[in-house]
Structure 1
Amino acid sequence: MNYQSKNLKIFINCVVFAVITAVLAQVEVPLPLVPISGQTLAVGLTATILGSSQGALAMICYATLGAIGLPVFAGFNAGAEVLTGPTGGYIIGFIVAAFLMGYILERTSFRLTMAMVANTVGMVVILLFGMIQLKYVTGLGWGEALDAGVYPFIVVGLIKAFLASWIGIAVRKRLVQSRLINPSEKAAA
């Protein structure tokens, strides 16, 4: 495969997963400060399927689309003010978490057990980034930020981590078989 074809395939993968994230962002359960949404499920799927670099790139694409005004964030919200607002830390955390989850899988193996470990680590990273920004933007204390921005999401986050792992590994196998993603991204064991 030539360089241009490879770059086009990477670009398409990133855009497709940014769109998947935008669609799943609209699946939400409202809570007082931070809603439960399908975004974190999409982040886990993205990293589990695409790996570190493309996973992070897809999340950068997602954040950029929202920042420039496309209504891709939860509740069809958009704009840079979302990224700097109370829930923006979660979105920034998506980028770091996607890279870290993919990195863990690339350095170990794309198997269900390791995907569950990677997705759980990613969930913690997203919640940490979100809670820190929530605390500083709203002026909440650390305990209040934990109560509003972390605790309500732990059980649902673990369920989403399992689903992202299970679905992601199955989809990744199919995409590798059909040569839509590069199996060499498995990296060293």
Structure 2
Amino acid sequence: MSNTSMSKSYDGDDGWQWNANNTKLLVDLYEERYLRFQDPRVRKRSLWLEIVEDMEQAGYKGISADICDRKWRNMRKTYRTSKEAMLKSGRKSVAWPYYDFFEKMHQTEGRPQSSSEKNSDSDETTFNIAVADILAATSESIPSTTTADDLTVTQEQQRQLLILERSRIAAVKELSRRIDESNSIQRERNDLLREFLTKI
């Protein structure tokens, strides 16, 4: 892939030139990670570092996470400026090639979190606490030291240990089910977002 173009932008980054090709690649790589960028639990810098790695593999050397982040902030600023100018002038379109992309992204980011998404996070937290309680109860029920009198395990102790072990197994199975369910929901979100953005 060539990293030369008729249109170049320095954006204040010494030695690095933005052009139509590498800007388009930046947008594509951001789009691939869109949902992760919206996740407050994910460090944004780690995502920019992933993008830097992909751009370097595409032949663009000298790029950095700070350069990418600064470029993205400038593009957001360009979007807001273009939108304000369009509203003031009454025009229905702008010449900036990424306006529609940022408009769709802005609308998606403005969508309030659904009750099902909130409940999913709440359920996961509640479940994790329940699993921790089960495991803690199991650990507390088994003595850490034994004496000669303790070596003879009664039937009642065997029954209690069996119940606790079954509780462990049930907790692990439930955790596995929740993880599978969460992964399925995430895949559906990714598919919907991908379909949404392809219409831009």
Normalising by the residue count of structure 1, what TM-score does the alignment of the two structures yield? 0.28
Which entry has the higher C-alpha Rg, 1 or 2? 2
TM-score normalised to the size of structure 2? 0.27
Give the structure, 1 or 2, with the largest relative contact order (CA under 8 Å, sep 6 or more): 1
